[in-house]
Structure 1
């Protein structure tokens, strides 16, 4: 027997959740096929040396990017402490470009460490500063677009609300409450609850 109200529909599965497993499976099959083609053409030892060289280069890149990120973090803390000693508000760094893309540099190193020729090619591309900067700008635009379209009360909305409090000069959402403005007199409340409703 059906009633007038219909059952709520199940949420639609996102495209990423639908196609991601298929994409990973296709990528793995393609990597294995490319390794066998190169092994047939150049020999198994060549493929082994390529994989070892990719792992060593990837570890070196990750180590270098990690050191650079730690140096940037230490410098930021030192500048904040110096500004606090002078009684100033620490300013946010607006360093754009390749040196601010340590995450993509680490991703490039990780892709080099993963066995496979396609992942090595993608990792080598991310080692180029111009490619890293272009991918970083694209990722920032995508994240900004996703955050601006977040429904109220969602995790993305909470992240956006927390992010607007950065002191980088951006206009922030909010409400101004002036404490020096005259307030309307409040009616005295009876501390006793009513005996009968």
Structure 2
């Protein structure tokens, strides 16, 4: 029930604002304002979204917690989306979310309401992971040195008469061109 409430109230608020602003400045300036906010939203999503992604990458490279840059990036994308949606109320909220101080307040407000119960990693193939030799880098919390031993051998192509017999091209038919059949 609470989830449907914004979908009922938001259009009513937007229509009321269109009527009020349209009465004050006129219909064409109101429509132009909505179009300009959409253009601004797309450009802000591009520019600030790229900057936020760069901040996330920088945090990962410096081995810092990337949650703050990720949250800023998510709020910037939300702000751009709200600017793109036609409406004056949603555009105002989108513009507010583009201000870094407002984003910090929103993140603190949401941070007080979010509780992390736990985190971890579980592999579906737990039996396989327990059979991995020690030092391989997997299973039971062991950390390997990142080196995996392996063997390889070089195999040459088969002789030319065998290779030539793998195609159907010499009889001119259009059937069976898979390379696996001979007719």
Which structure's relative contact order is higher, taking Cα pairs within 8 Å and 6+ residues apart? 1
TM-score, with length taken from structure 2: 0.57
Unaligned runs of 5+ in 1: 1-17, 80-89, 149-159, 164-176, 178-197
Cα shift readout 1:159-192 (whole Å, capped 9, x = no counterpart)? x2228xxxxxxxxxxxxx9xxxxxxxxxxxxxxx
Matched residues in 2 for 1:68 and 1:100: separation? 13
2:47 counterpart of 1:75: no
2:38–2:83 contact (8 Å) kept in structure 1: yes
Structure-1 residue corresponding to 2:16: 33
Structure-1 residue corresponding to 2:42: 59
TM-score, with length taken from structure 1: 0.54
Q: Measured at CA, do residues 100 and 27 of structure 1 come closer, stay the same or move farther in structure 2, by a change above 3 Å?
A: closer
Q: SS of the counterpart of 1:108?
A: helix
| Partner residue of 2:93 out of 122, 134, 155 | 122
TM-superposed CA distance for 1:76, in Å, is 4.9
Q: Measured at CA, do residues 75 and 92 of structure 1 come closer, stay the same or move farther in structure 2, by a change above 3 Å?
A: closer
Q: Measured at CA, do residues 138 and 162 of structure 1 come closer, stay the same or move farther in structure 2, by a change above 3 Å?
A: farther
Q: Measured at CA, do residues 143 and 161 of structure 1 come closer, stay the same or move farther in structure 2, by a change above 3 Å?
A: same
Unaligned runs of 5+ in 2: 122-139, 141-183
RMSD: 3.0
| Partner residue of 2:76 out of 98, 102, 105 | 105
Structure-2 residue corresponding to 1:162: 120
Aligned residues between the structures: 124
Cα shift readout 1:112-162 (whole Å, capped 9, x = no counterpart)? 111111111111111111110010122122222xx34xxxxxxxxxxx222
